Amino acid sequence: MKIVGRDTTFSRNLSFPFFSLINRGYLCVFTMAMADEKSLNFLEEIIETDLREGKYTNIATRFPPEPNGYLHLGHAKSICLNFGLTQKYGGYTNLRFDDTNPVTEETEYVESIKDDVRWLGFQWANELYASDYFPQLYEFAVILIKKGLAYVDDSTSEEIAAQKGTPTRPGTNNIYRDRSIEENLTLFTDMKAGKYKDGEKVVRAKIDMTHTNMLMRDPVIYRIKHAHHHRTGDAWCIYPMYDFAHGQSDSIEKITHSICTLEFVPHRELYDWCIENLEIYPSHQYEFARLNMTYTMMSKRKLLQLVNEKHVSGWDDPRMPTLSGVRRRGYTPESIREFCDKIGVAKRENLIDIGLLEFCVREHLNKISLRRMVVLDPIKVVITNYPEGKEEILTSENNPEDETAGSRTIPFSRELYIEADDFMEVAPKKYFRLAPGQMVRLKSAYIIKCEEAIKNAEGKVSELRCTYVPESKSGSDTSGIHVKGVIHWVSVAHALPIEVRMYDRLFVTEDMNRIEDDFKNHLNPESLKVLTNVYAEPSLKEAKDGDRFQFMRTGYFYKDKDSTTNQLVFNRTVTLKDMWAKEVKKG
């Protein structure tokens, strides 16, 4: 696939069927690439130039999450990018927690972030915290004050906002901007000593109140917060703003390529200004387009709202785009890494079809999942010419995609469960499943013929009477009968009752970034259906944590953490085919 943009061109070889990739600001030309070669993205080009010209001998990147929520798929793109670059070109990636706001941070989030990064398959070189640098960051602020490049301001937040002006009107200086260096140093020392209340004073960089970039109009770099910090306790009551801590933390760690998303483009000027005026190691910031995906919301604030208002069961609800959510749903780290590789790295915002992610998940699960027969909507079949009390042990492969997966045994008896939709009382042409007088093969078993449909008092078919062909046993069929339909089944006497949670997309609107009303109005009311009248072949009882299953002809499933010894619970990870594409075509 080649995507041509106004300011960049990059190619990405795609080995998947056609998907819509909606790019804002791009002319998209889709081609099925046959070659294995892959062009470099713009960051790889920059790094290769830096290494070739001897600017660096190796590179250093960092992944800097705020410990105020759980990571989501957008973070996965950043993780794969940062760690992937240092794996490819040599170097290291730090995991640095941006814990500069004590009010929103919790140790729970720190541990979940570390678990998510490890689960994706990466290991950081150093586990660091912005709070590790609080003493050094304080000294950096002192240096700026001594250079006359920072001052203590008594203005309220509302007054500061008014003083900054607008994009079309320059800002105005206030009386505090002309304080002496000595007075500013004394006030800053008193701020650190806890002599002032929250919001009573701030420290601002002294740059230019008429600057065309409003972020350069004397930005706040320190504020007062009398709050307990999850690591430093009550040692500090002043905390650096993110824009001040970000670049200086990069510099302290000698990060060569500080990779951010596009919303940080306006912040780069301040990043460079601080490093230049502090005369410290010159880390450099680069920006790429964040992940926007159809039928998905990535805002941590809005995801937290869904959790707090009980629209979902928690951060790890399998409908959530969090890494803990998709992990519980049954996504594999390999499929997410493959997805991130396929979507590439762009300089302009784009909207990725969630169908591509689901395709990557299906492709991997098809290779590794154990096949099992599970009946979600059962109807009973009685094989009238099969001896009462007789049972057989049949054999079926675990995964036709993997010869090393071996096989399993399945009990067969006179009474079976099949899917209700595998029978039609009045069947159309080219219907190859069960119907009165019609034959079908039971997977890894026999050919059966429907002789009679028994109805209950409401007139609904409740039981099928069938006959089987004894000579048609799979693997040793001598019947000479050829049937086109094959269906799955479960022996009634050996059936394992389970609960199945049928998860679907959380939102019904394709582009959640373009909505203007309350995002909760776009929640999918059909995003979860719980099935309790489900029967599985008995081998499923041996399911271990981490096992992946394909419930034959139904979808891919994963054992949920709510499972108990007496009640197994399985989550649908993804359907066998893209069902949403079919619904869209229907209009």
**41-60 tens-digit pLDDT:** 999 999 999 999 999 999 99
452 lies in a domain? yes
447 lies in a domain? yes
Q: What pLDDT does residue 3 have?
A: 39
Please count the structural domains in the chain: 1
Strand-pairing partners, residue 423, are 434
CATH code, domain carrying 406: 2.40.240.10
Query: Is 577 labeled as catalytic in the residue annotation?
Result: no
SS3 label, residue 231: coil
Q: How many residues does the chain have?
A: 587
Q: What pLDDT does residue 104 have?
A: 84
What backbone torsions phi and psi does residue 57 show, to the nearest 5 degrees? -90, -25
Query: Out of 62, 300, 371, 501, which one is annotated catalytic?
Result: 300
**CA 362/CA 15 separation, integer angstroms:** 14
368 lies in a domain? no
Query: Is 300 labeled as catalytic in the residue annotation?
Result: yes
430 lies in a domain? yes
481 lies in a domain? yes
**CA 307/CA 312 separation, integer angstroms:** 6
Q: What pLDDT does residue 22 have?
A: 41
Task: Count other C-beta atoms under 10 Å from residue 398's C-beta.
Answer: 17
What backbone torsions phi and psi does residue 179 show, to the nearest 5 degrees? -60, 150
SS3 label, residue 146: helix
Strand pairing of 350-352 and 21-23? Answer: antiparallel
Query: Out of 38, 290, 443, 465, which one is annotated catalytic?
Result: 290
Instruction: Please give the sequence-ordered ranges of beta strands (E in DSSP) within 57-169, or none if there are none.
Output: 59-63, 91-97, 127-129, 150-153
Q: What pLDDT does residue 35 have?
A: 40
- Ordered per-residue pLDDT tens for the chain, 587 residues: 433 333 333 334 444 444 444 443 433 333 333 344 678 999 999 999 999 999 999 999 999 999 988 999 999 999 999 999 999 999 999 999 999 999 887 888 999 999 999 999 999 999 999 999 999 999 999 999 999 999 999 999 999 999 999 999 999 999 999 999 999 999 999 999 999 999 999 999 999 999 999 999 999 999 999 999 999 999 999 999 999 999 999 999 999 999 999 999 999 999 999 999 999 999 999 999 999 999 999 999 999 999 999 999 999 999 999 999 999 999 999 999 999 999 999 999 999 999 999 999 999 999 999 999 999 999 999 999 999 999 999 999 999 999 899 999 999 999 999 999 999 999 998 899 999 999 999 999 999 999 999 999 998 999 999 999 999 999 999 999 999 999 999 999 999 999 999 999 999 999 999 999 999 999 999 999 999 999 999 999 999 988 999 999 999 999 999 999 999 999 999 999 876 555 555 55
Domain extent for 380: 374-488
User: Environment class of residue 232 by beta-carbon count within 10 Å: exposed (0-12), middle (13-18) or buried (19+)?
Assistant: middle
Query: Is 290 labeled as catalytic in the residue annotation?
Result: yes
194 lies in a domain? no
Buried b (16+ CB within 10 A) or exposed e, 513-548: eeeeeebeebbeeebbeeeeebbbbbbbeebeeebb
228 lies in a domain? no
Q: What pLDDT does residue 26 have?
A: 37
Instruction: Please give the sequence-ordered ranges of beta strands (E in DSSP) within 209-299, or none if there are none.
Output: 220-224, 238-240, 257-261, 284-288
Query: Out of 44, 66, 183, 415, which one is annotated catalytic?
Result: 66
State the amino acid at position 339 in one-letter form.
Answer: F
Q: What pLDDT does residue 107 have?
A: 86
**CA 574/CA 86 separation, integer angstroms:** 32
CB 303 within 8 A of CB 312: no
426 lies in a domain? yes
